[in-house]
Amino acid sequence: MAKQKKEPKPGWYRLDNAGVLYSAIQKEKYSAIYRFSAVMTERVDPDALQRAVEKTMPRFPGFRVRIKKGAFWYYLEPNNAPGPFVKRDISNPCQPVRFKEDNGWLVRFFYYERRISLEVFHALSDGGGALVFFRTLLAVYLRELGHAVPNGEGVLDVDEPPRPEEMEDAYTRYAGKKVLRGGWARTAYPNKSAAEPFYTLNVTMGFVPVDKLKAAAKAYGASITEYLTAVLMLSIMENQKAEKPRHEKPVALAIPINLRSGFPSETLRNFILTVRPCIDPELGDYTLKELVDYVHHFLRLNINRQQMQATFTGNVRFTTNKLLQIFPVFLKNPVMSLSYKLVAARPYSATYTNPGAFRVPEEMAPHIQRMEVILGQATRPSPHCASISYGNIMEITFAGTGVSSETERRFFCRLVREGVPVRVESNRTG
C-alpha cells in the first residue's frame, strides 16, 4: 500500500518522473508549457495582479523554483531572484522557456484586457496543481481590488505556511511492486501539416454551452469528456481520409488522467498518467456513435487503480534505474528525448485534456466570466486539444504550430451539426 519514501533535505528536491521527462525533452524550440487563463468581468489591473503574484508565490514553493542541471539529473531549487513579473500578453502564447533566462522563472503571468493568464513549465506541476495555484492567485487578486473572498473551496490561505504534503512526489509514494509494461504501440497518424515559422502558435478557441454539450453527450450515453474525445478522433480520422493514403494509420489520443481521484494526495506537483484510446481506420469506417461507445467503454475499462499504479510504478522504476542513473545528464537527455519520441509522441495523433469544471467560492464567481486553457505546442506541427468549463461555458482550445486548421474546423463543424452552438475566437485572424 502507500509508503512514504525518505524526502531529500529541504532546499532542493528531485523532479518527479513526469518532470524528469519534460526537462529531458526541453529544446531550444520546444518546451512542455501549458496556460490557464481567466477572463474577468472587469479590465485587469496589472499593479494589483503583480501584488497578488508577490503575495501568492511564497505560499507555493513548488512554483517558486528554478531548474538546475546536476551531473546525473536536473533538480529544482528555491528561486529567490526578483520576480516573476506580470507582463502584457503576447499573440503567441506558451513560448519555450530558457532555464537561465528571465531569472530562471518557470512560471509566467500575463494580462490582456480582461484576461489573466498563467503559464507553467510542466516539470513543476500538472493542470490539477496549477489550477489550485491559479484559483488562489485569482482570489488574492480580487482581494487586492477590494472584494471579500474567503479561503476554502480550493482557495489556499496565503498567510499560512506551505504544507509538506503539497510538495510530495506522489508517484514515488504510491509506486507499488508490480510493473505493467504496455508493449510497443503502433505509430499513429501524426495529423501534422506544414510548420509555421518559429515563435508562432496558432490558437483557436471554441465556446459552447455546457448544458447543450451535456445533452448531446447524454444522447449517446456518454460523459462530456468521452463525447469530445470521440468527436476529436472522428475529426482526425476524416483528416487522414482526406489525404487519401494507401494505408491508413491508427488514430490514437493521449488522455491525461488526474491520479488524485484514485490515489488520495494533496500534491501540487505532477500526478497524472495518460491512457491511449486508439482506433484502426483500416478495419473500416466508424460512426460517431460507435466511436463514443468505444471511448466510453475504453476509459471505463482502462482507468482503474491497479492498472494505473502498475503503469506509473514502471515509470518510477525507470527513473530510479541504477544503470540509467550512472549516465551523465548530457548523455541521458538525448536517450530520453528519443524514447519520448518513440513511446510518447509517435504512437499518438494528439493529446486531449479536460481538467473539468473550474469551481470557485461563491464570492469569486461574479468576477470571472470564463476560463480558458491552452496546451502548448507539440513536438511536431500538429494541434493539441484542451478544454475547461466554468459555469455554463465550456471552452475548447486547439493549439499547434501547424498551418492547417482542418482538425478544429472538422471538430467544431461536427458539434454544430450535432446541435451544439459554437462561438469561435482565434489568434489566426489577428
Q: Taking a C-beta distance cutoff of 8 angstroms, is the pair 93, 109 a contact?
A: no
Residue 385 backbone class (left: φ over 0; alpha: ψ -120 to 50; beta: rest):
beta
Name the minimum Å distance from CB 75 to other proteins.
19
What is the per-residue binding string for other proteins in 92-131, x denoting contact by CB under 8 A?
A: x--xxxx--x----------xx------------------
Binds other proteins by CB under 8 A, chosen from 45, 90, 145, 210: 90
- C-alpha cell, 413: 463543424
Please work out, in degrees rounded to the nearest 5, the angle formed at the alpha carbon of residue 142 by the alpha carbons of 44 and 40.
Answer: 45
Smallest distance from other proteins to CB 429, Å: 5
Contact set for other proteins, span 39-78 (CB under 8 A):
none
Cell numbers linked to 256: 491525461
CB 419 within 8 A of CB 213: no
User: Contact between 423 and other proteins (CB under 8 A)?
Assistant: yes
Q: By C-alpha distance, which of 125, 369, 145 is closest to 260?
A: 125
409 near other proteins, rule: CB under 8 A: yes
| Contact of 48 with 142, CB cutoff 8 Å | no
Which residues have CB under 8 Å from 32's CB, separation 6+?
A: 22, 25, 26, 121, 122, 123, 376
Give the other-Cβ count within 10 Å of 347's Cβ.
18
Q: Which of 47, 153, 199, 335 binds other proteins (CB under 8 A)?
A: 199
Question: Longest Cα pair distance anywhere in the chain, in angstroms?
Answer: 63
Rank residues 90 and 257 by Cβ distance to other proteins and give the closer one: 90
Angle formed by the axes of helices 224-242 and 406-417, to 10°?
130
- Rank residues 154 and 391 by Cβ distance to other proteins and give the closer one: 391
Per CB under 8 A, the segment of 8-16, 56-64, 91-99, 152-160 that binds other proteins is: 91-99
For position 379 contacting other proteins by CB under 8 A, the verdict is: no
Q: How far is the CB of 156 from other proteins (least distance, A)?
A: 30
| Shorter beta-carbon distance to other proteins: residue 20 or 97 | 97
Among 78, 264, 334, 421, binds other proteins (CB under 8 A): 421
C-alpha to C-alpha distance for 139 and 142, rounded to whole angstroms: 5
User: Which one among 91, 267, 339, 388 touches other proteins, defined by CB under 8 A?
Assistant: 91
Task: Pick the stretch among 69-77, 143-151, 156-164, 199-207 that binds other proteins (CB under 8 A).
Answer: 199-207
Q: Which is nearer to other proteins, 276 or 409 (CB)?
A: 409
Shortest Cβ 43–other proteins spacing (Å): 10
Q: How far is the CB of 119 from other proteins (least distance, A)?
A: 11
| Spatial contact of 176 and 309, defined as CB atoms under 8 Å apart | yes
Q: How far is CA 226 from CA 35, 128, 295, in A?
A: 23, 19, 6
Among 126, 166, 408, 418, binds other proteins (CB under 8 A): 408
List C-alpha distances in Å: 1 to 173, 174, 181, 266.
9, 7, 20, 17
| Sites of contact with other proteins (CB under 8 A) | 28, 88-92, 95-98, 101, 112-113, 199, 203-206, 405, 408-409, 412-413, 416-417, 421-430
